[in-house]
Amino acid sequence: MKPLHFIYLLTVLGQSGFRGYRLLLALYALHLGASAFTVGLILALYSLMQAAAGWWVGLWTDRAGSVRPMLAGALLGGVGFAIPCLWHEVAALFVASAVVGVAYCMYHVAQTHAVGLLSTKDDRAKNLADLSLMFSVTNFAGPLLAGFTVDLAGDALAGVWFAAVSLISAAALLAGKGLLPAAKAADGKERPGLRELLKDRAMLKILLVGSLVFAAIDVFQFYMPVYANGLGISASVVGIIMACFPAAAFTSRICLRWFLKRSTPEAILSRSFLLAAAAFVAIPFFDSALLLAVLAFVYGFGLCVGQPITLILAYQNSADGHAGAVVGIREAVNQITRVAAPVLFGAIGTTAGLFPVFFVGGAILTWGALMLRTGKLEREGS
């Protein structure tokens, strides 16, 4: 098996559990009688722990390569998945959320860095785009795994299934660890600290643009159901509308390799932001379920190009031997955004109403597109 194909296999095995665990945590918390606010805190902790771990996990992968961080992530994830099975209280879900959040960061940052190390300058964008397609698969498989295991085994024992999948990925990793790359030697310069990294204006712009993508995704996933429910659309139809978003994400990532052959990452990202902004602003002008489904697909198609593109740009702008740290800080910034954006837009929706949320979101995406028109995002002096 080719090394890249092995990493893609590990992605599907290892990431499916991590991607579905947010749903499992929410379902179990509700089963234990937790309030919606408490569920929100549990899920926020999951993201905050990823943010807290991102920087040092990135540095670790630069020094040690990908095998040890991925193995640690898989084993720690297995422990975290099993905690609620042994301790049937809401407090256990907070502990599990924190443990699995750190484990996910280890696995995710290390495997992303591994794909970068196995790539050349010419094929790195294509390979990272293929990795993003695998992430789309796990975004579908993870919640599906959560739903079926809860129905089959119950909320408490569902974590055992997740732990089993995590241990299988650890076993596969050990069996094929020779296929994964070793750490790349640094370029002779001292490893940059966080302050030095954030002085790079191009990198700051990439991180900011990437955070806009995550903010826009989370705002859509909250406000589209609210808007559709207010129109009296049934829950099943709302579910179909929302399903158009991940379907579009998968489609856009299939097309991404074709896009990259015909344009620059910056140009693709700028156009995708404008497409998403137009779709988001148009939502409150329509009350047809069919048209809302079309807009959800268009929005997802435009917006979900942004995640792999900003990853490609971040990796290409990192110094030799320091790419893991860049991937790690990108993960941290994105997860902080996932916590902050719903709070910010929730305040806008509460004080000004639902319509301004769509216009503010569209304006922010348009601003992101305009930032990308100033020129190529390259490191100073590169």
Tokens 């695998």 appear where?
134
The pLDDT assigned to 20 comes to 79
- How does pLDDT run across 171-206, given as a tens digit for each residue? 999 988 888 877 665 555 555 555 666 666 777 777
Residues 6+ apart with CB under 8 A from 215: 337, 338, 340, 341, 345, 364
73 by DSSP, 3-state: which? helix
The predicted structure's pLDDT at residue 373: 61
Q: What is the mean pLDDT of the chain?
A: 81
**Average pLDDT rounded to a whole number, residues 119-133:** 81
Q: Which of 74, 5, 136, 335 is nearest to 66 (CA)?
A: 74
Please name the amino acid found at residue 124: R
The pLDDT of residue 382 is 40
Give the 3-state secondary structure of residue 286: coil
CA distance 289 to 233: 7
309/210 Cα distance (integer angstroms)? 9
Residue 93 and residue 42 in contact, taking contact as beta carbons nearer than 8 Å:
yes
Sign of CA dihedral 349, 354, 356, 358: positive
The conformation of residue 199, written as its DSSP 8-state character, comes to T
Residues 6+ away with beta carbon under 8 Å from 372: 209, 266, 267, 269, 270, 273
Nearest to 99 by CA among 157, 25, 46, 26: 46
pLDDT at residue 72, as a whole number = 92
Query: What pLDDT is stored for residue 282 in this prediction?
Result: 92
The reported pLDDT for the residue numbered 235 is 66
Of 284, 234, 11, 7, the C-alpha closest to 242 is 234
Q: Is 186 exposed, middle or buried (0-12, 13-18, 19+ CB in 10 A)?
A: middle
Tell whether the model's pLDDT for residue 210 goes beyond 50: yes
